[in-house]
Amino acid sequence: MMPLLEIAKLKTVLNTGSAPIHAVDGLELKIFKGETFALLGESGCGKSMTALSIMRLLPEIAEIIEGHIKLDGNDLLLLPETDMRKVRGKRISMIFQEPMLSLNPVMTIASQIKEVLKQHFILHHTHLHKRILELLQQVGIPDAPRRMTEFPFQFSGGMKQRVMIAMALAGEPELLIADEPTTALDVTIQAQVLDLMRDLQQRTHMAILLITHDLGVVAEIAHRIAVMYAGEIIETATCKDFFQQPAHPYSQKLFAALPERAKRNQGLAVISGNVPLLSQAFQGCRFAERCDHAWELCRQTVPEWIEITPGHRVKCHLFSKEKRSEYQVNRTEK
């Protein structure tokens, strides 16, 4: 099956000061139609830079220096900006952590959604009105006919995030990128927004790329997961396999440090040691300085992808043929 989105060897650098920072460093991922794919990682690991690279909305200091980002087989990185504008909002939409920053405070909710609709469709006035109402109802805004005439400040945080989702859905995208969509919300509202996203996904069959630092959010709605560390993906699996047996030593540490598995709003555990500087070239495994299992090979050779079970892949020397049996035994004994 052809993936909806396929990222290969993506490198995005930040040109700050003396040495460029390799924020995204050789990233590979595939997202299929209709799935919710979580990209999990600590802040600063390159998750948001990945999302902004896909949208081609990078800040001025950032630049994609290598790789492909293919949507249905067509490389977005080769599109002229005018064509990319037709992709944004229409084929791929994005919602952000802080809805207040993305809504225009002096425009009513209806006018803001209308702007988006007008970018993508030619609709008669009455159809526009009907479509705005539909979208607001779809995201669970009560009393939508009245509320559509109100301004963002009249909405609570959770309701604003719903409006943002309605705007993101306006172009009927095939892929919705949600960057920490619930982080700014309190726990009950988080749960409601996640329920809404799951529900919309089931109804519309759009794919969702969910960017998060929260294992609980992943457990709640994702089908597959990729764990990102220091600019690259180090493990990918179905959520079922991942939550049953996280393989990479980094993933295991994330679990071990959680007081209760999949507890929402917990954020990621603090793991001793520092994320390596991303301005350097790596000789070996990026996690070696913080890994309890590291040996010489880890410091000398970059680990390649190894498939442990179908669909569960990991970048770690412990899973090489020579090491694997020994490590597997220790792992299951724990």
Find, among 251, 310, 167, 228, the residue nearest to 28 by Cα: 228
Q: With H, G, I as helix, E, B as strand and everything else as coil, classify residue 321.
A: helix
Which of Mg ion, ligand SF4, none has residue 158 at its interface (CB below 5 to 8 Å by kind)? Answer: none
Instruction: Pick the binder of Mg ion from 12, 48, 190, 236 (CB under 5 A).
Output: 48
Q: With H, G, I as helix, E, B as strand and everything else as coil, classify residue 52.
A: helix
Sign of CA dihedral 236, 238, 243, 245: negative
Amino acid symbol at 260: E
Report the residue number, 100 or 133, with the smaller CB distance to Mg ion: 100
Instruction: Pick the binder of ligand SF4 from 140, 158, 216, 249 (CB under 6 A).
Output: 249
Residue 102 makes contact with Mg ion by CB under 5 A: no
Residue 233 makes contact with ligand SF4 by CB under 6 A: no
Instruction: Pick the binder of ligand SF4 from 21, 70, 288, 313 (CB under 6 A).
Output: 288
Instruction: Pick the binder of ligand SF4 from 96, 229, 242, 287 (CB under 6 A).
Output: 287
Q: Rounded to an integer, what distance in angstroms lies between the CA atom of residue 74 and that of residue 72? A: 6
Residue 317 makes contact with ligand SF4 by CB under 6 A: yes
In the complex, least distance from residue 57 CB atom to Mg ion, rounded to whole angstroms? 13
For 267, the token pair is 């954020």
Residue 89 makes contact with ligand SF4 by CB under 6 A: no
Q: How many CB atoms lie within 10 A of CB 193?
A: 24
Report the residue number, 6 or 235, with the smaller CB distance to ligand SF4: 235
In the complex, least distance from residue 43 CB atom to ligand SF4, rounded to whole angstroms? 20
Tell me which residue has tokens 């949507």. Answer: 71
- β 175-179/92-95 pair status: parallel
By CB under 6 A, name the binding residues for ligand SF4. 248-249, 285, 287-288, 291, 293-294, 298, 303, 316-318
